[in-house]
Chain A
């Protein structure tokens, strides 16, 4: 197999977060961790090219995936391996989208990332191979990816590949007993000493590495973002009040405050009376402008990003967060203040 390895700007050796806006590029042969991957793939397969892209571009520019696919197609490769992206949300989303696009174009494709990576939900028909949570687990993660790639190349069905992230799905069914009756059974079991009994296991949200602090906020571009569903009055773009599957952006240029009557909150999870009387209670623009005028921050970013955090599926929320990070970083924003309801 002729394999293309998709990675991000960091693993391509271009740079870290400061280089996350680099456009898609192609290099001959393997680069960075791709060299080890190439060796692990054995004699039959080789990494003929590496395609990489800045995480912010890949996760937010709608044209980027198409450009990446064109670069992949130009190599004449049969298979695309994307990642491992570990726990990095933007990188994981990019890997999933690249692999999906390659798959749709008729290539064999695999993505690799940690199980809680929001990219897992973006992979659709493409198998996602489990990687560790951080690059410290690069070695074992590459081994798993290489093993799965060799199996896929040999014709093994996608659903039986080794190392596939076991997505346990929660599926509805009817029990013989009501939830109330089962609650009584469960409490009696707990009283009898069974400390593990539960119908819902505790979730694992993964681990986020905190961003470093900003040295000088007085020069920084700061964005306001919210899941309080504050939108222009009339909700012209029809943001959902619950189970939102999208996020929106609206301009803030020339505004010193969120004017009552011009904005409303469409969040279905709380009483929006206070928010509608003064939308600054959800998106604190008036106070942010004060900070700007007082020179405490450089500037308020001229858009705000918004969704409704009411019954939002965690996978969607994680994806929004990664997409917002990509968007804002490309715009030069150094920090975002999120109001949470």
Chain B
């Protein structure tokens, strides 16, 4: 995340772990699929939202400008 902010990536969705950016092995398979779906829905929200600089889109759906 700090790397994404530092290099200026305009739209970033934070995930749970480097070895599994679109997953979470601590969840059951069904819950993990649902989490992955949530991440992609957040990504869709991000690409439909205008931004002016590096912006973090939390998977709960709220957007906040990065520091």
Do chains A and B make direct contact within the complex (CB under 8 angstroms)?
A: yes
**Which residues of A are interface residues toward B (Cβ below 8 A)?**
205-208, 210-215, 217, 222, 228, 269-275, 277-278, 280-284, 286-288, 290-291, 296-297, 334-335, 337, 339-341
Residues of B within 8 A of A335 (CB): 47
Residues of A within 8 A of B7 (CB): 205
B48 touches A217 (CB 8 A): yes
Given contacts A287-B37, A340-B4, A210 and B19 within 8 Å (CB-CB): no
Closest 6 CB pairs of A and B: A281-B23, A210-B10, A284-B22, A281-B20, A287-B36, A339-B21
Q: Can you report 28 A-B residue pairs in the complex whose CB atoms are below 8 A from each other?
A: A208-B8, A210-B11, A210-B51, A210-B52, A210-B53, A212-B50, A269-B18, A271-B19, A274-B17, A274-B23, A274-B25, A280-B22, A280-B36, A281-B20, A281-B21, A281-B22, A282-B20, A282-B22, A284-B22, A284-B36, A287-B36, A287-B37, A287-B39, A291-B40, A291-B41, A339-B15, A339-B21, A339-B22
B19 touches A272 (CB 8 A): yes
Q: Which residue of B lies closest to A335 (CB)?
A: B47
B23 contact from A269, A272, A280, A291, Cβ within 8 A: A280
Residues of B within 8 A of A284 (CB): 22, 36, 39-40
User: How many angstroms between the C-alpha atoms of A212 and B6 in the bound complex?
Assistant: 21
Q: Is B67 an interface residue (CB 8 A)?
A: no
The SS class assigned to the B binding surface is loop
Minimum CB–CB distance from A32 to chain B (whole Å) comes to: 27
- How many chain B residues sit at the interface, stated as a range, is 20 to 34
Instruction: List 8 other contacts, CB 8 Å, given A280-B36, A297-B44.
Output: A212-B50, A271-B19, A274-B17, A277-B25, A286-B33, A287-B33, A287-B39, A341-B21
A290 touches B37 (CB 8 A): yes
User: How many angstroms between the C-alpha atoms of A228 and B20 in the bound complex?
Assistant: 9
User: How many angstroms between the C-alpha atoms of A341 and B16 in the bound complex?
Assistant: 10
Residues of A within 8 A of B33 (CB): 286-287
User: How many angstroms between the C-alpha atoms of A213 and B46 in the bound complex?
Assistant: 8
Minimum CB–CB distance from B50 to chain A (whole Å) comes to: 5
Residues of B within 8 A of A269 (CB): 18
User: How many angstroms between the C-alpha atoms of A296 and B22 in the bound complex?
Assistant: 18
Q: Which residue of B lies closest to A290 (CB)?
A: B37
Minimum CB–CB distance from A8 to chain B (whole Å) comes to: 21
Q: Is B28 an interface residue (CB 8 A)?
A: no
Interface string of B19-35 (1 = CB under 8 A from A): 11111010000001100
B21 touches A340 (CB 8 A): yes
User: How many angstroms between the C-alpha atoms of A284 and B18 in the bound complex?
Assistant: 14
User: How many angstroms between the C-alpha atoms of A277 and B15 in the bound complex?
Assistant: 18
B36 touches A274 (CB 8 A): no
User: How many angstroms between the C-alpha atoms of A286 and B24 in the bound complex?
Assistant: 15
Q: Which residue of B lies closest to A278 (CB)?
A: B23
User: How many angstroms between the C-alpha atoms of A186 and B34 in the bound complex?
Assistant: 49
Residues of A within 8 A of B9 (CB): 208
User: How many angstroms between the C-alpha atoms of A107 and B23 in the bound complex?
Assistant: 53
